[in-house]
Amino acid sequence: MTRGRMPKLVIGVVLLAAAVLLPFPVNRAQPYYLQLTLNIFVFATLALSWDILARTGQLSLAHAAFYGLGAYTSVLVTTRAGVPVFAGILLGSLVAVVAAAGLGVLTLRLRGIYFAIATLAFSESLRVLTKQLRFTGGPAGLIAPPLLAGNLPAQYLVILGILLLAVLVSWQVNRSRWHFAFTAIRTNEEVAAVMGVDVVRFKVMAFAISAFFAGLTGAYYAHVFLFISPFEAFSLAVSVGALVAPIFGGLYSAVGPLLGAVVLRAGEEVLRAALGDGFLIIYGLILAGVILYMPRGLVGLWTAFAARRRQPAARTGRGVP
Amino acid sequence: MLIFGVLRSGLYSLTSVGLALSVGVIGIVNFAHGEFLMVGAYLGYWLFVSYGIDPLVAIPLGALGLFALGGVVYRTSIQRVLQAPELNQMLLTFGISIFLQNLAIILWTGDPRTAAISYKAKAVALGPFTVGFPQLVVFALAMALTLGLYLVLGRSRIGKAMRAVAQSRLGSSLIGIEVDRIYVLAFGLSTALAGTAGLMIALQLSASPFIGLLYTLKAFAIIVIAGLGNIHGVIYASLVLGLSEAFVEFYVPQGGGWSEGVFFVLILAVLIVRPRGLFR
Amino acid sequence: MRITVLLIAVLLAVATLAIPGSYQPVQAQREPIKIGAIAPLTGPTGVSGQAMKKGYELALEEVNRLGVLGRRIELILEDSRGDPPTGAAAFLKLVTRDRVEALIGGLQSNVSIAVAAQARQRPILMAWTGAASTLVERALADAEWFFHYHPWEYHNADSTFGFIRSTGAKTIALAYEDGPFGSGSADSAEAFAKNHGLSVIFKEAFKSGSPDFTPLLTKSKAAGADVLVWVSFDQDVVPMATQTRQVGYSPRLILAAPPSWPVGFEKLPAGNYVAGMALWTAENSHTASRQFVRRYKEKFNEDAASYWGPLAYTNLITVADAIKRAGGTELNALVAAMKATDYEGPIGLPLTFKRSIYGKNQGFTRLIAFQWQNGKQVVVWPEQIAGGKLAYPAPYGR
């Protein structure tokens, strides 16, 4: 096993180095791709954050709320209290965490569609609140100070760092004991509680971690695209975007949401080039098609394929839905 | 103000009762509900503009058309995810809604279209108040349809079969009910109801590809407040929603902006305090 | 193992995307002048974006009949989808990959901000038709290379209240949709009203897309102002018109300002004598406007309903003209040529670029007022271009 590990480690390090150094020459030659990749990474981080919460069976439509809270907090403190941008972003994600913990506690008893609607209502209430209050700039929105003076490669590195952190956390959670707790809760909460799993603690923790990254993403977005408004930051589109990629790529893993995000966004560009302005219609069909024919997502396809190539007897036991 | 709230709730309950049916009987959370409504609205518009058919008169035709559409959609897609986790069902219907919405944009562009029906702006005196005639009609229709549905579910064989299926899929199939057929019927009925609501929207307002989502959300709120699957509760829940919105818009200064929030806070409150719904 | 596979996949994707891009086409002699455009061809404002596309096509045809400095103009139109990150990426693509020499387009304020942020780092002529929010104006206050065609919010407000004053009305009830579009107008309303000797005695927000405005309209009726000003999107004017009838509310004038009107509104009896403000209407009697409407109908077989068509047309024509006058696309020369623009086209109002409150190069600064009279949008103000007389007090419900 150790002999197999070495080349993988080397590949990993090389890739990482490439990911870090690549932006500079790319930026000189084709900054457009850097921007695209940055956009994809933002989307992917959000997807990863949603997936973490989904592991406890809590299918949230509230990610726009955490995203928006992160964005608004950061913009408000950086513009009104002169806090430096990095600190603002961090503060934004912390506020999102607190809100998530609160929401988590309030919705402990809710399941499935009830939970989803409650989270949606939470997100929309926040939208109405930020829209109505003068303090948050009202419906017109707020202009945000730029991150790292708008330096594209630098901004790219920041989101790369955030994304890697999210991937790491997502991966680690799966490898740790938390994985069992989450899966148990997802499969059947009552049984999990009977088995001694501290359901409340894990559900709230999942909420917190998930919201941390969502808030981080939101705040990052605000300082890179320099403008937020209640309509955009808290929109249903954000919450939906957060969940489409993990579904498409494969739930409950670190790879799935990431792959889903990349393929979806790249696919969008291809679709648009091929179909012109009607491409969104295909998006709907793809979404429906994935659910009907590829419920485990892309990763599911891959594992099924790989499993079939191996001996039919050697199937993995990780078949939990 | 009371009257406005009540009339408004008529429209709301009409748009929600179909969803209550599909959730209650089939257990499907149909995110595309609003899009079926939207198709109904366009149907109403085109029938009026091309043939001069009043949307009220077009109801049987529209309902039939939407029933067929619902049946087709059900057979081709929804049927397969009945056993899948709820998330998949939600996403499937969501994908369908994106598809339908963009289809509408391609076919009919994003411009809203309004049918110039002669009595669209007519008002009727109701005691000391004047109320809009179309609103009154819609309210009456909503009551009639909901009552009708309730009776069908309670009295007719098909209705009883639906209730049986809603209670237990396995049990009903054991006693010989063709569960699949019931499901198709229920879903078709639900989309037919959505389509009827859409026709009424063409009557009162205008048709555009984007109206779907707003009504889907309101419908969800209403059935949550009523308690999932509770048909007659829909009327009460719509009343609650309609009245509270009207109240905020009327009495709260600058209330117009907040009334949206009422709706969401209400959902949150109900879900946190009495998740089974207020009117179970 | 999976992670590594994935990381490889991601980086390969990025790399493969980069490779074809780095291939530079051989420079041809007399190659066309490339102009980049960013518009929302899809998304919530897709209807307007499509109108822009058609306006650009008409302009392109005309410009390329004679060419500019002996070369063709090539227009590269990117869809912003109404999404700021997409807009930012589109800008980078146009400027760094397609190497366009000028940038036109623009509709939404948030996309404009994202694009402008990029433009600051790679200055290029930005002849922009979009954004009415003063946030954008302030964000680009010091940019010499930014030319703004569309009136800012406060210009809209100024025109609106100027028109109202001309009718002799004194009091205003203001109802507005609660998003950035409506609220932007509402914010400055009282101040502008006062400037014109008017007073806003009722002011309330509503949610666009609501089916029922009866409580709001009843409150407004009770306030009894001369004019009801209704700032909303297209779908809301229908319930507004029918429900004002139903609650028996007949102000002296209803003035609505949606960016566009629903199809079929002209047939609605309740909509008769409702007034509106717009940058342009298809009924404009100006020769260039009539010509535009005719050519639009010939080429696209539909009626030009949205002002974004002629605005986009004006956008491209004036930029092409500036390139001609500047003798090329060098930025400073182009900016100077743009500043000297003096053009009267289908919009029917003269276009020059002057200072605005915060900005350096502001184009259109006023709207015109029209009234729906028996299915036609009759221009009623300003008097110089009026095509008919305003019915005031308007005979609603009679």
pLDDT tens per residue across span A244-299: 788 888 888 888 888 888 888 888 777 777 766 666 777 777 777 877 777 777 77
Q: Is C47 on the interface with A (CB under 8 A)?
A: no
CA distance A278 to chain C (A): 8
pLDDT category, C42, cuts 50, 70, 90? Answer: confident
Over residues C368-376, the mean pLDDT reads 89
pLDDT of residue A42: 92
Residue A171 CA to residue C306 CA, distance in Å, equals: 52
How many domains are contained in chain C? 2
In angstroms, the Cα distances linking C28 to C21, C94, C103 are 18, 19, 22
Looking at the fold, whether C64 and C106 belong to one and the same domain comes out as yes
Strand C126-128 with C275-278, pairing: unpaired
Looking at the fold, whether C247 and C211 belong to one and the same domain comes out as yes
The answer to whether residue C21 scores a pLDDT higher than 60 is no
Arithmetic mean of pLDDT over chain A: 82
**Does residue B233 lie in a domain region?**
no
**Does residue B10 lie in a domain region?**
yes
The answer to which of A242-251, B63-72, B123-132 has the lowest mean pLDDT is B123-132
pLDDT category, A227, cuts 50, 70, 90? Answer: confident
Residue of B nearest to A132 (CA): B257
The answer to whether residue C292 scores a pLDDT higher than 70 is yes
pLDDT of residue C283: 83
Closest CB to A121: pick one of B23, B97, B268.
Answer: B268
Run of H or E residues at C202: strand C199-206
The answer to whether residue C20 scores a pLDDT higher than 70 is no
The C-alpha angle A210, A213, A214, rounded to 5 degrees, equals 80
How many domains are contained in chain B? 1
Residue A166 CA to residue A156 CA, distance in Å, equals: 15
Domain that holds residue B26: 2-209
Paired residues of C172 in beta bridges: C200, C227
Looking at the fold, whether C120 and C66 belong to one and the same domain comes out as yes
Q: What residues of chain B lie within 8 A of the CB of C216, using their CB?
A: 249, 256
Q: What residues of chain A lie within 8 A of the CB of C8, using their CB?
A: 11, 15
Residue-wise burial string across A245-263, b where 16 or more C-beta atoms lie within 10 A, e elsewhere: bbbbbbbbbbbbbbbbbbb
Cβ contacts of residue B42 below 8 Å, gap of 6+? B104, B108, B113, B198, B202, B207
pTM score over 0.80: yes
The answer to whether residue C199 scores a pLDDT higher than 80 is yes
Over residues B20-37, the mean pLDDT reads 85
Looking at the fold, whether C379 and C271 belong to one and the same domain comes out as yes
Cβ contacts of residue B279 below 8 Å, gap of 6+? B225, B226, B227, B230, B232, B233, B236, B237
A128/B103 CB distance under 8 A:
no
Domain of C292, CATH number, reads: 3.40.50.2300
Looking at the fold, whether C249 and C380 belong to one and the same domain comes out as yes
CB atoms near residue A105 (< 10 Å): 12
Looking at the fold, whether C161 and C130 belong to one and the same domain comes out as no
CB atoms near residue C230 (< 10 Å): 28
A277/C41 CB distance under 8 A:
yes
Looking at the fold, whether C225 and C374 belong to one and the same domain comes out as yes
CA distance B62 to chain C (A): 21
Looking at the fold, whether C317 and C234 belong to one and the same domain comes out as no
C3/A255 CB distance under 8 A:
yes
pLDDT, tens digit (0-9, with 9 covering 90-100), for B210-264: 888 888 888 888 888 887 767 777 888 888 888 888 888 888 776 666 777 777 7
The answer to which of B83-97, B189-203, C102-116 has the lowest mean pLDDT is B83-97
Residue of B nearest to C49 (CA): B110
Domain that holds residue C270: 154-278+368-385
pLDDT, tens digit (0-9, with 9 covering 90-100), for B154-165: 778 777 777 777
**Does residue C24 lie in a domain region?**
no
Residue B9 CA to residue B246 CA, distance in Å, equals: 10
Looking at the fold, whether C301 and C267 belong to one and the same domain comes out as no
Q: What is the CATH number of domain A5-310?
A: 1.10.3470
ipTM, two decimals, is 0.82
Q: Quick one: CA dihedral C291, C294, C299, C305, positive or negative?
A: positive
The tokens for C19 are: 């490779």
Q: Which chains touch B (3 or more CB pairs under 8 A)?
A: A, C
pLDDT, tens digit (0-9, with 9 covering 90-100), for A145-196: 888 887 888 888 888 889 989 988 998 888 888 888 888 888 877 888 888 8
pLDDT of residue C294: 92
Q: What residues of chain B lie within 8 A of the CB of A231, using their CB?
A: none
The answer to which of A127-131, A275-279, B10-14, C130-134 has the lowest mean pLDDT is A275-279
The answer to whether residue C19 scores a pLDDT higher than 50 is no
Run of H or E residues at B125: strand B123-126
- The SS3 call for residue A144 is coil
The tokens for C261 are: 């009107």
**Does residue B103 lie in a domain region?**
yes
pLDDT of residue C56: 95
Q: Quick one: CA dihedral C43, C46, C48, C53, positive or negative?
A: positive
Closest CB to A284: pick one of B23, B96, B265.
Answer: B96
**Contacts by A36-39 with C-beta closer than 8 Å and gap 24+?**
A36/A265, A36/A269, A36/C17, A36/C89, A37/A156, A37/C14, A38/A152, A38/A155, A38/A156, A38/A159, A38/A224, A39/A265, A39/C85, A39/C86, A39/C89
Looking at the fold, whether C50 and C158 belong to one and the same domain comes out as no
Looking at the fold, whether C146 and C169 belong to one and the same domain comes out as no
Q: What residues of chain C lie within 8 A of the CB of A140, using their CB?
A: 133, 135, 180, 183-184, 187
The C-alpha angle B237, B242, B247, rounded to 5 degrees, equals 125
Residue contacts between A and C (CB atoms, under 8 Å): 131
Q: What residues of chain B lie within 8 A of the CB of C214, using their CB?
A: 4, 7-8, 132, 246
Q: Is B67 on the interface with A (CB under 8 A)?
A: no
Residue C125 CA to residue C320 CA, distance in Å, equals: 12
**Does residue C53 lie in a domain region?**
yes
**Does residue C9 lie in a domain region?**
no
In terms of Cα–Cα distance, which of A132, A107, A116, A106 is closest to A63?
A: A116
